[in-house]
Amino acid sequence: MAEVSINGTTRTEFGKGASRRARRDGQVPAVIYGHGATPVHITLPARELGNALKESNVLLNITFDGKTELTLPKSVVKNPLKQNLEHIDLVLVRRGEKVTVHVPVHTEGKHDPDGILEHVHNTIEVEAEATNIPKFLVLDIEGMKAGTFKLASDVVLPAGVTLVLDPTATVVHLSERRAATAEETAAAAPAADAAAPAAPAAS
């Protein structure tokens, strides 16, 4: 579980104009909330924050106004075109308390080569201690046959981690390659017929 320390600055200006100025100066507007505390508005250095967020479910030790708060990213807003950070919501957490998070699922093993692996859930929701959130979870697909699927209950959970997602939810499905190809061909046929020029009328 990654833990990163970042220095923040309390915000005294609000609104779209203030947020634009902060981003222009290399800062990201942020809000810290949770545990019944009054929300705190701060800014964080964009480069340091961006590097930290490369790690899934990273814990952020935010220092501002002479104190440090342990937080977990809750909502990250990025510019849809430039993909730069525009805003982040952080939730207060305490060491030892349990939190509900989405953790990436990695598949391991070789499946039936006659199948196409489809990820229905790239992440699954689990409950874990705030300071012991796994980076990823493992799903064994060794020997998986085409036409079969794996459920959330098949994902390996480390000690202290419990499943929140419905255990019967499908995580991956191995579709049959021949069936998929036939479906694609059938779907393409009407489009090809519509594109074909009409036959000349008989004189």
* Half-sphere exposure (Cβ direction) of 100: Cα atoms closer than 13 Å: 4
Provide CATH 2.170.120.20 ranges for the chain. 99-189
Each residue of 106-142: pLDDT tens digit? Answer: 999 999 998 999 999 999 999 999 999 999 999 999 9
pLDDT at position 197 over 70: no
- Cα separation, 44 vs 7, in Å, equals 7
| Type of residue numbered 170 | T
Put simply, whether the predicted model's pTM sits higher than 0.85 gets the answer no
- Cα separation, 37 vs 136, in Å, equals 31
Kindly state the average pLDDT of the residues 8-22: 84
- Cα separation, 77 vs 75, in Å, equals 7
* Structural fold of domain 99-189: RNA Polymerase Alpha Subunit; Chain A, domain 2 (2.170.120)
User: Given this model, what pLDDT does residue 126 score?
Assistant: 97
pLDDT-derived band at 161, boundaries 50, 70, 90: very high
Closest CA to 104 of 127, 121, 89, 91: 121
Provide CATH 2.40.240.10 ranges for the chain. 3-93
Could you tell me which CATH number the domain at 3-93 has? 2.40.240.10
